[in-house]
Amino acid sequence: MSTPVESRQAKVIDELRVFIKKVLSDPTIAVKSIDIARKLRTEADADELIAREISANTTIRIPEKWSEADRMFLDIIHEVLDDEEALY
């Protein structure tokens, strides 16, 4: 029997596997997601706006109640944009 932590980790891994498959099958998802985040990152409630816009314009669906994998995806987008800013 798995522990709650192991079950949660398995769920996150499964969600990330589905996400990675979507990105690999449609490489425009990454570009669109970064463009959306770049445009909205300074707005109030930026993560909420970014999540809704990505859901509306890609095959990625981020529900109103975010999972750990959803939060991780949004955090990684911010890291990419921070790295991008650091280059300039």
Summarised one tens digit per residue, pLDDT across range 37-65 is 999 999 999 999 999 999 999 999 999 99
- Any long-range contacts for 16-25 (C-beta under 8 Å, 24+ apart)? 16/69, 16/72, 19/60, 19/69, 19/73, 22/59, 22/60
Check residue 71 and give its pLDDT.
Answer: 92
Total-model pTM: 0.83
Average pLDDT in the chain: 92
Check residue 12 and give its pLDDT.
Answer: 87
Domain that holds residue 66: 4-87
Tokens 């991008």 correspond to: 84
Report the C-alpha dihedral over residues 82, 50, 35, 42, rounded to 10 degrees.
Answer: -50
Mean pLDDT along residues 12-35: 91
**What is the number of structural domains in the chain?**
1
